[in-house]
Amino acid sequence: MNAPSPQNQPALHELLAFYLEAGVDEALTEEPVDRFAEMAQIRSASASTSAPGPSSDRRPQTGGAFAESSSTNPATAQRAPFTAAVPDEAQVQLARQLASQASNLDELREAMAGFDGCNLKFTAKNLVFADGSPDASLMLVGEAPGRDEDLEGLPFVGRSGRLLDRMLAAIGLDRKSAYIANVIPWRPPGNRTPTPHETEICRPFIERQIELVNPKVLVNLGGPSAKTLLNTTEGILRLRGNWRAHTTASGIAIPAMPTLHPAYLLRTPAHKRLAWRDFVEVKMKLRSLS
């Protein structure tokens, strides 16, 4: 195989950086994965939970999205595979119960670490809880961890995190004077978009986290964060730049500014000026509330 010419190397570096940002961090996995079989098992498990079938000698399908096919070969049959059932409404209710029982952030983190109702937990390496100061006046909430965040167990530490650091510095803040979290605390495989059900399961935890931090100002980084926490279906380009309110379970209305996610800004640098305007608004709001 011929080595790439010097003039092509910058383009190759950009392509590799794009792959890493998209979650493509390995060419091959250790075992072959049949994605079509996974989807069939999800549909089968969902159907079995909603309408129980007639009794038989067959074992029920409980593997969900991560179960291996029953037709595994002898070489892999001896290795016990991970299995996870498709979460149901009971898991959503359990998440709400655990979140409401947490009286401080340490208890909330412990509750989330022990919660097995979201399948994302079993494919992620770490729980990505938060970074920054719990006493901060500003709280920023993104969507979900990426590869770098999953490895370090901290939110916004990759390329988008470095851009976020510069955005905070532009208004005189840093990670020590802000509090950063995500709606989803576990990395979705391949950085895929979390499903609505996964978001609903994790929603009680981030809502309780916001309530416990009780910031003066909330910044929603990206559309998924804004839609989840502001109960809206509007797109982020329509939402951004306009003050909204996130109302906690105790009835406290926190001023919220939806803005563009740093990862989006890396892909669309021309829109950085819009995010700059939003952060200036945040700075002015913090100053007026201090």
**143 is a domain residue:** yes
**16 is a domain residue:** no
Average pLDDT estimate for 248-277: 97
CB-CB contact of 91 with 118 (8 Å): yes
- The rounded percent of the chain whose pLDDT value lies above 90 is 69
Nearest to 42 by CA among 69, 58, 66, 60: 66
Average pLDDT estimate for 95-111: 98
Say which CATH number the domain at 235 has. 3.40.470.10
Inter-helix orientation angle 196-213/89-101, to 10° = 10
Average pLDDT estimate for 155-184: 96
Report long-range pairs for 68-75 (Cβ below 8 Å, ≥24 apart): 69/34, 69/37
Residue 9 has φ and ψ, to the nearest 5°, of: -60, -40
Predicted local distance difference test score (pLDDT) of residue 88: 74
The mean pLDDT value of the chain amounts to 84
Residue 131 has φ and ψ, to the nearest 5°, of: -145, 155
CB-CB contact of 185 with 192 (8 Å): no
Predicted local distance difference test score (pLDDT) of residue 87: 60
**197 is a domain residue:** yes
User: Which has the higher per-residue pLDDT, 50 or 281?
Assistant: 281
**Can you spell out the DSSP letters for the chain?**
-PPPPGGGHHHHHHHHHHHHHTT---S--SS---HHHHHHHHHHHHHHHHS-----SSPP---GGGPPPTT--HHHHTS-----PPP-HHHHHHHHHHHHH--SHHHHHHHHHT----THHHH-SS----EE-TT-SEEEEES---HHHHHHTSSS-SHHHHHHHHHHHTTT--GGGSEEEESS-SPPGGGPPPPHHHHHHHHHHHHHHHHHH--SEEEEESHHHHHHHHT----HHHHTTS-EEEEPTTSPEEEEEEE--HHHHHH-GGGHHHHHHHHHHHHHHHHHH-
Nearest to 142 by CA among 176, 178, 173: 178
**Is residue 209's pLDDT more than 90?**
yes
Please tell me the least confidently modeled range out of 45-49, 138-142, 279-283: 45-49
**135 is a domain residue:** yes
**60 is a domain residue:** no
**119 is a domain residue:** yes
Average pLDDT estimate for 57-72: 40
- The rounded percent of the chain whose pLDDT value lies above 70 is 70
Q: Count CB atoms within 10 A of the CB of residue 143.
A: 23
Predicted local distance difference test score (pLDDT) of residue 159: 94
Question: Residue 93's domain spans which residues?
Answer: 89-289
CA–CA dist 289, 134 (Å, integer): 18
The domain total for the chain is: 1
CA–CA dist 73, 52 (Å, integer): 30
Average pLDDT estimate for 247-258: 97
Residue matched to tokens 């945040």 = 282
Predicted local distance difference test score (pLDDT) of residue 194: 95
Q: Count CB atoms within 10 A of the CB of residue 5.
A: 7
User: Which has the higher per-residue pLDDT, 9 or 114?
Assistant: 114
The pLDDT tens digits for 111-153 are 999 999 999 999 999 999 999 999 999 999 999 999 999 999 9
**Is residue 28's pLDDT more than 90?**
no
User: Which has the higher per-residue pLDDT, 7 or 245?
Assistant: 245
**97 is a domain residue:** yes
For 69, 117, 197, 251, the CA distances from 86, given in Å and listed in that order, are 16, 9, 10, 33
Predicted local distance difference test score (pLDDT) of residue 211: 98
Average pLDDT estimate for 57-77: 41
**186 is a domain residue:** yes
Displacement of CA 148 from its chain's centroid (Å):
13
Average pLDDT estimate for 78-96: 69
Count Cβ neighbours within 10 Å for each residue of 211-229 and write b for 16 or more, e otherwise.
bbbebebbbbbbbbbbbbb
